[in-house]
Structure 1
Amino acid sequence: MKAMTKTEEKHKSFLNLNLRTKTILIIAVAFVILFSVFISNYLIDHSAVLTSNFYNINQPPSFDHWFGTDWMGRDMFMRTLLGLGISIGVGAFASVISTIIAILLGVFSSVNTVVDEAVTAVIDLFGSIPHILLIILVSLAFGGGYYGVIMAVGLTHWTPLARILRAEIKKINTSEYIKLSNEFGKSKMWIARRHIFPLIISQIIVGVILMFPHAIMHEASISFLGFGLPAHAPAIGIILSESMKYLSMGYWWLA
């Protein structure tokens, strides 16, 4: 009864927190989980996980193999863990590349009208091409594999954030303190560093948070279609692609 009371008190104390504190706690927990999965990629012995064991093929879930084994006797739990780590790494690197491109284009658009029109045309051009098709073409152009997937996802996911930053920077440039800075002879780099960047940090953070799962989804999509990571890699898209043939065979832990 006493333990139950303590549990209820902890539950009530969490509910009494304000929305900002709850959000920070949830983000912190999610970050710890994602970071742990990513770090586990470097702690697990890849050769042991990916080695075939034909004595244990298609085994159902058990205490020895939590997610069962696949058609080559490989532990599906460890393969899934490695796949999540790969997807998180690809999503993180691709998000950084896309964010850098979006920031550069957003800042360049404020130079003058000609540059702004050129940036708008580039954004519209990339936005008009079917997303998956563009990712596949860029991935093939970079030779596929890990490098090709990271570059393909990173070079194609910057358009929404670039639009937001361009609009926000144009709004900031109409402010009185920007006009005063120009009249005092301050350089555009000084204005960008002191007045623009501090005001667009929140948009950048939100953009990266929204871009990260989107990048992971597209990495898994092109790997599922066979244009992404190599077939021997324990990627989520490849595991899903392999599972298609087990849907009608009764191996529910693989499907």
Structure 2
Amino acid sequence: MDVADRLSRPAAVGYDVPLLHAPRARAHGGSRRAALAWCVGAALVLVGIGLAGAACQGAAVATDFTAKNLAPSLAHPFGTDWMGRDMLARALAGLSTSIVIGIVSAAVSAVVALALACAAALGGRRVDALVSWLIDLAMGIPHIVLLILISYALGRGALGVCIGVALTHWPSLTRVLRAEILQLMTQPFMVASRALGVSRCRLALTHAVPTVAPQFLVGLVLLFPHAILHEASITFLGFGLSPEMPAIGVILSEAMGYLTAGAWWLAVFPGVSLLLVVLLFDRVGAGLRRLLTPEEVQA
């Protein structure tokens, strides 16, 4: 008997426990439209922040000692620092730098993860064992320590930070993609293709990569917040970007010496801005995950 009949019938034998409410069917179409709207809106805001930061690079380093250490006002919404530099311009420029570094490093890291996952799943037991050993080795070392060592060995700067982030953020995504491709290899058409002599490279390009494309895209987007936060972290510690660059890590590091003097805006607004950018990237990743997940899986 369906739910409608149970609701319309009076309580009888076997129905002494009343049904208080009928479960509502999930509106998959509406949730997908909302996810798409959130995803597009967050992406547009991120693009706007990146463009605004690129346009503010000159204003971010312009000094005016007649307007130093000013509290937030209409003329300077984020206040000014000890050199009279506008903190709004510096925060936007720093966020733009972080976004660019995060995109480059996350893209390189995701490509490395995809290549290693395909090699592990299609290269045989020895290659799979080697890739699994590399994953365990990379995950056994704290990210921040390995990132500092790589960045410092490469002379710091933007290049060192990008390479360091790219070489430390691939293990988790590699493990996910490897599991998906290994599951794909058990499918009958893949077994038949291998029996017919289809090369492993062709199997990877024609079947493995298209199959794991949704997981790859979601993992790529979700790598951005980690890349941005780690870039800001090692820059704050002095092992990342150059102090002359208007980066969020540099801004927060310099602000530490002025917080006791009451200049709270030097750290609060840049820190909150970085947090909002990370949350926007997380929103884009969550939206992509919902859009790329089949409706029957979400039910």
TM-score normalised over the length of structure 1:
0.90
Residue identity matched to 1:212: F
In the alignment, does 2:172 pair up with 1:160?
yes
Q: For 2:204, which of 192, 195, 214 is the aligned residue?
A: 192
Secondary structure of the residue that 1:197 maps to in structure 2? helix
Structure 1, unmatched stretches of 5+, are: 1-14
Match of 1:236 in 2: 248
Partners of 1:216 and 1:101 in 2: CA distance: 18
Residue identity matched to 2:84: G
Deviation at 1:17, TM superposition (A): 6.3
Partners of 1:131 and 1:180 in 2: CA distance: 41
Partners of 1:94 and 1:16 in 2: CA distance: 34
Match of 1:123 in 2: 135
Quick check: 174-183 or 243-252, which moved more? Answer: 243-252
Match of 1:102 in 2: 113
Residue identity matched to 1:211: L
Deviation at 1:178, TM superposition (A): 0.3
Quick check: 87-96 or 175-184, which moved more? Answer: 175-184
Partners of 1:48 and 1:252 in 2: CA distance: 21
1:47-66 deviation digits (Å, cap 9, x = unpaired): 34302211111011122111
Match of 1:174 in 2: 186
Residue identity matched to 2:173: L
Deviation at 1:181, TM superposition (A): 1.0
> Number of residues paired by the alignment?
240
Secondary structure of the residue that 2:97 maps to in structure 1? helix
Runs of 4+ in 1 over 6 A off after TM superposition: none
Q: For 1:246, which of 247, 258, 267 is the aligned residue?
A: 258
In the alignment, does 2:103 pair up with 1:92?
yes
1:121-172 deviation digits (Å, cap 9, x = unpaired): 1111111111101000100111111111111111110010011111111111
Q: For 1:62, which of 46, 69, 73 is the aligned residue?
A: 73
Residue identity matched to 1:143: G
Q: Percent identity?
A: 43
Structure with greater Cα Rg: 2
Partners of 2:84 and 2:113 in 1: CA distance: 44
Relative distance call for 1:16 and 1:117 in structure 2 (3 A) is closer
Q: For 1:32, which of 44, 52, 57 is the aligned residue?
A: 44
Match of 1:136 in 2: 148
1:77-120 deviation digits (Å, cap 9, x = unpaired): 00000000001001000101101110110011121000000111
Residue identity matched to 1:67: F
TM-score normalised over the length of structure 2:
0.77
Secondary structure of the residue that 2:37 maps to in structure 1? helix
Partners of 1:16 and 1:119 in 2: CA distance: 38
C-alpha contact 2:158 2:241 (8 A) present in aligned 1: yes
